[in-house]
Structure 1
Amino acid sequence: MANTEASLKDVMGSIDGSIGVALVDYNSGMALGTLGGGDLDLNVAAAGNTDVVRAKARAMEMLNLKESIEDILITLSTQYHLIRPLTSRSGKGLFLYLALDKGRANLAMARHQLKRIEADLEV
């Protein structure tokens, strides 16, 4: 099991094209930890993407979908933004947010690595 800091470092080191990563509290919109980001303000991104997760959860509820969100992908012209809600008991109410450089990232591998890192994360 890895702590938050080690997991964020793992994301940045093992996922090609990583720009920045944050562990976010879904209830407050606050980032519990961030790494990287460059020109991207990860605290603002954390708050904004909390609204995205909440909106999708509401839509699923209205559609009576009895499934869980595996991840949410937002594709921009030069970036991918990946949101992965944590599924462990200790991670309930949290999600990982990852921004990727579209030209350097392999989306399938990024999703695979993020899933692996999430499984090892102990909050």
Structure 2
Amino acid sequence: MSNTETALKETMTSIEGAVGVALVDFNSGMALGTLGGGKDLDLGVAAAGNTDVVRAKVRTMEHLGLKDEIEDILITLGSQYHLIRLMKGRGKSGLFLYLALDRGRANLAMARHQLKQIEAGLEV
């Protein structure tokens, strides 16, 4: 089990093409921890904006009567992938990991697999 800081560091170092990562509380929209980002990627703004994305998808699923869980949400840009992974497990509900990847350097399938493993080991 790893803490937030360790998990964010592992994400940035082990996932090829990682540009920035945040652990976000989607009840408040606040980032509980961030690493990476920069002038072109404000992780605080991204945390708040992606909270709206998660809330909208949860609401839509409720309206559709879907009784399933969101595993992750992928947003594909011209030069980046943005991956939102909802966390599951005791003490993790209401949280998601947000990962921005450089599309030219990242392997999306591997990034999803590695982020799932990091999420499983994260103790909040």
Q: TM-score range by the shorter chain?
A: over 0.9
Q: Write out per-residue CA displacement over residues 27-70 of structure 1, whole angstroms, 9 at most, x where no aligned residue.
A: 00000000000220000000000000000000100110000000
Determine the C-alpha separation between the residues in 2 that align with 1:90 and 1:120.
13
Stretches of structure 2 lacking an aligned partner (at least 5 in a row): none
Post-superposition shift, 1:88? Answer: 1.3
Q: Residue in 2 aligned with 1:4?
A: 4
- Secondary structure of the residue aligned to 1:81 is strand
TM-align CA RMSD: 0.4
Q: Residue in 2 aligned with 1:21?
A: 21
What's the TM-score once normalised by structure 1's chain length?
0.99
What's the TM-score once normalised by structure 2's chain length?
0.98
Determine the C-alpha separation between the residues in 2 that align with 1:18 and 1:88.
25
Q: Residue in 2 aligned with 1:102?
A: 103
User: Where do 4+ consecutive residues of structure 1 move more than 2 Å?
Assistant: none
Stretches of structure 1 lacking an aligned partner (at least 5 in a row): none
Percent identical residues? 76
Size of the aligned set, in residue pairs, is: 123
Post-superposition shift, 1:116? Answer: 0.1
Q: Residue in 2 aligned with 1:60?
A: 61
